[in-house]
Amino acid sequence: MILEVHDDFDLKKIAESGQCFRWNEQPDGSYRVIAGGYVLNIRELFDADEIKEYSGKDNDIVRYGTADFKHTFFINCGKTEFYDFWEEYLDLKTDYSKIRAKIDKAEDDYLFRASETGKGIRILKQEYFETLMTFIISQRKNIPAIRASVEKLCKAAGIEKDGCYLFPTPEQMASLSEDEISACGTGYRTKYLMKAAKDIADGEVSLEAFAGLSDAELLTELEKLYGVGVKVASCTALFAYHRMDFFPEDVWIKRVLADHYDGHFPLEKYTPWNGVMQQYLFFGQISDK
């Protein structure tokens, strides 16, 4: 299919934004994305001739956004799979260039510059269980270490598909022994993962039911899970439940706030889009390194 997005959309920035850990750049510049039980390949078509070539092959074309610029992608899935999962996952109905336009350069030049650097990031709508597990794993780990750990876990418990391993279901995860999980490099987080997986597999906790809660209630319920504090809970709320107003504060963001905002971000100015602002600030910070 051809995906034409008249809005901010940058594959590389999304892959490196730290919200997802299973986007892998391929030798041809495309990205392989494992999510929702699917394995997708997505490639931006930069060249007009290339776009014409693909468009001529009676590929379905879907269009999103209203900006006066566009990004064109080739994705190797059909309409059924696309509407079933990827449309929502990629958050194609949200207009990020309009959200970006809420940032006043004169009022906050630092955020404005961060948004220019991070332009193209979208907040994915990822799966509840995978996001929760992944951000539990992320505690005191850097991004490469998180990716390596998640990959091992998928290989240990997930189903193989197209040469990749899907993220385990709660049941698959709960069937692993402590040693098997620990062998994935999860360290002291192993007991947190086991408890959450078991409670969810047993039906004691329903991540699906959490979707009906208000932002505040959702945060409270997530924080009740063993090993889940405010950071992991707010990342899960933002990246899986798509609660766009959450503003997760990790050490990187805390540094930004200390250096540029007197320790406190003016959340009231950007409601209900603070999560997007957080992503711009975070991306600006890590891309300096």
Partner DNA sequence: TACCAGGTGACAG
Partner DNA sequence: CTGTCACCTGGT
Q: Which residues bind DNA (CB under 7 A)?
A: 17-19, 138-145, 182, 185, 187-189, 223, 225-233, 235, 248, 250-252, 282, 286
What is the distance of C-alpha 39 from the center of its chain?
16
Nearer to DNA, 72 or 279 (CB): 279
Q: How far is the CB of 8 from DNA (least distance, A)?
A: 18
State in angstroms the smallest separation of the CB of 142 from DNA.
4
Q: What is the CA radius of gyration of the chain?
A: 19
DSSP letter at 188 equals G
Minimum gap (Å) between residue 217 Cβ and DNA: 17
Q: Which is nearer to DNA, 85 or 246 (CB)?
A: 246
Handedness of CA 60, 64, 68, 70 (dihedral sign): negative
Residue 144 or 163: the one with the smaller Cβ distance to DNA is 144
> Which residue, 50 or 223, is less far from DNA as judged by CB?
223
In angstroms, give the least distance from the CB of 130 to DNA: 14
Residue 12's Cα: distance from chain center in Å?
Answer: 13
- Work out how close the CB of 15 gets to DNA at its nearest, in angstroms, rounded to a whole number: 10
Continuous H helices in the chain? 11-16, 48-55, 79-81, 87-89, 96-100, 109-118, 128-137, 143-157, 170-174, 178-181, 190-201, 207-210, 215-224, 230-239, 251-260, 267-270, 274-287
Nearer to DNA, 126 or 138 (CB): 138
Q: What is the DSSP letter of 229?
A: -
